[in-house]
Amino acid sequence: MIKQAFVAVFLSLCAWVAYAEVINVDNAELARLAASGVAVIDIRTAPEWKDTGVIAGSKQMTFFDEKGQVDASAWLEQLKTVVKPGQPVILICRSGNRSRVAAQFLTQQTPYKTVYNVTAGINGWAKEGRAVVAVKPVMAACATGVKC
């Protein structure tokens, strides 16, 4: 009886882990997913957005600040205002490394289970000649009282 219970719990955990996934995507898939309505979250810092521009329609929400620090709970609360838990989301950074870490956080510690990581980041997007737009000052500002 105990063995059956252990197996049931183990299989349940395996099913949950299998459901939560980070899916690495290239720029073509990013464009397709964004066109289908999946939210694109640019997790870079405000100076980076200003320097390179952003993907049109993306939301800017810094994950790692300029010192490399993260306020995961504040960031998650900000994300929830744009993407409901359980909905798919695309994360992009400069090169795909920070967005991979943020994507792993989402799939492992939150209700977000389908998270797309843009492997080449905004650098790869721009290198392919894909369009970027200037970030608006309002977009780069954090909400009052929210560290970003």
- Chain segment 96-114, per-residue pLDDT in tens: 999 999 999 999 999 999 9
Percent of the chain predicted with pLDDT > 90: 76
Is the pLDDT at 147 greater than 70, yes or no?
A: no
Q: Which domain holds residue 131?
A: 20-140
For the chain, the first-to-last Cα distance in angstroms comes to 50
Q: Give the pTM.
A: 0.81
Q: How far is CA 114 from CA 9, 18, 39, 47, in A?
A: 23, 11, 12, 28
Average pLDDT over residues 20-30: 93
Helix (H) / strand (E) element for 27: namely: helix 27-35
Kindly state the helix (H) or strand (E) to which residue 63 belongs, with its residue range: none
Residues 37-77: pLDDT tens digits? 999 999 999 999 999 999 999 999 999 999 999 999 999 99
Looking up residue 64, the CATH number of its domain turns out to be 3.40.250.10
According to the model, what pLDDT value does residue 9 have?
Answer: 42
Structural domain includes residue 122: yes
Residue with the two structure tokens 């994360």: 91
Residue 68 CA, distance from chain mean position:
16
pLDDT over threshold 70, residue 36: yes
In a domain, 2, yes or no: no
Question: Is residue 146 in a domain?
Answer: no
In a domain? residue 106: yes
Cβ pair 59, 39 in contact under 8 A: yes
pLDDT at 16: 44
User: What pLDDT score was predicted for residue 136?
Assistant: 80
What's the structural domain count of the chain?
1
At 78 the pLDDT is 96
Whether 3 is in a domain gets the answer no
More confident: 148 or 86: 86
Long-range contacts of 62-71 (CB under 8 A, 24+ apart): 62/142, 62/148, 63/91, 63/93, 63/98, 63/99, 63/101, 63/102, 64/98, 64/101, 65/147, 65/148, 71/147, 71/148
- Could you give the CA distance from residue 74 to residue 70 in angstroms, rounded to a whole number? 9
Distance CA 133, CA 147 (A): 24
